[in-house]
Amino acid sequence: MWLYVLLALLALLLLRRWHRERQTVPGLSERHVLITGCDSGFGNLLARQLDARGLRVLAACLSEAGAAQLRAATSERLQTVLLDVTSSKSIADVTAWVRQRVGDQGLWGLVNNAGIAIPTAPNEWLSKEDFVKVLDVNLVGLVEVTLSLLPLVRRARGRVVNVASVMGRVSFFGGGYCISKYGVEAFSDSLRLEMRRFGVKVCVIEPGYFKTMITNVESLEKNFYSCWEKLPEEIKTSYGESYLKQFVVMLKLLQKTYNSDLSLVTNCMEHALTSVHPRSRYSAGWDAKLLYLPVSYLPSALSDALFALFYPK
């Protein structure tokens, strides 16, 4: 008897959630959304997706070539701007540019998508500068862009969507990437609490492994060899060249698990921007839902034992 009651309550809760999440924000055609990192990958696809949906997309690209390619593939509504998230002047210039376009209406959505993964390698193979290069883009740049545009988002009672990663929950390789994504999670959590009183919603996207420029195996392999060549002989001797070769083999095996359907991620971003009741967190990809997120709740001894299976012996 009680089992049936519990199942009925669970079904009602799921039905309620489904109904709430289907409610769409009105007047989307009049709302502006700024997306960073639109040259390729998730940002590029999201810009085209939102443009097709009728939103007023402000696409920030790192290169003019990327901006031109995106303009050619979209409607006249979409506007592009060049943005280097590691440059305070570039961020200030783009903020002024956005302010001119949104006016008193404010900025409905900010999607912090720009990111890099390289340099990455075992931590001892890297320098402070290698860590800083990634953190400047993925975390410090994201924070500065958000702080600069937050008054415009607050005016619109809009959305901030930050792209983290499953590597912001579990970290099993060295370098600044995982550190930066842990930081994005922490920044998003505190910002979400602070913005509640202003009606601003802050959402985090946690993709699994997807085939983007960030996870290009050829670039990662080249990066590993480059880091190896710079190491002192003492460190090379300690690890042994077999360690390097086994790491490269592991990368090639991981390549087979990459998901090439980027829309699984951009659909989460779109929902966060267009739903009346967005989620605080979105996991994208079967590996995120069934492997990395569950593993993140395991005791460290168990998760360490699991990930150790992939490390060179």
| Domain spans in the chain, listed from the N-terminal domain onward | 23-214+259-289, 216-257
Q: Please say whether the structural domain 23-214+259-289 has been given the CATH code 1.10.274.30.
A: no
Share the mean pLDDT of the chain.
90
- Band of the pLDDT at 19, cuts 50, 70, 90? low
Cis, peptide link before residue 312, omega less than 30° from 0 = no
- Band of the pLDDT at 212, cuts 50, 70, 90? confident
- Band of the pLDDT at 20, cuts 50, 70, 90? confident
pLDDT tens by residue, 116-130: 988 888 899 999 999
**Given 4, 177, 239, 297, which residue is catalytic?**
177
In this structure, the number of other CB atoms found within 10 A of the CB of residue 166 comes to 24
Please say if the pLDDT value at position 14 is more than 90. no
pLDDT tens by residue, 177-189: 999 999 999 999 9
Predicted pLDDT of residue 21: 66
d(C-alpha 67, C-alpha 48), whole Å: 12
Order across the sheet with 159-163: list the strands. Answer: 79-82, 56-61, 32-35, 109-112, 159-163, 201-207, 281-284
Q: Is 182 a catalytic residue?
A: no
Smallest CA-to-CA distance from 137 within 117, 161, 162, 155 is with 117
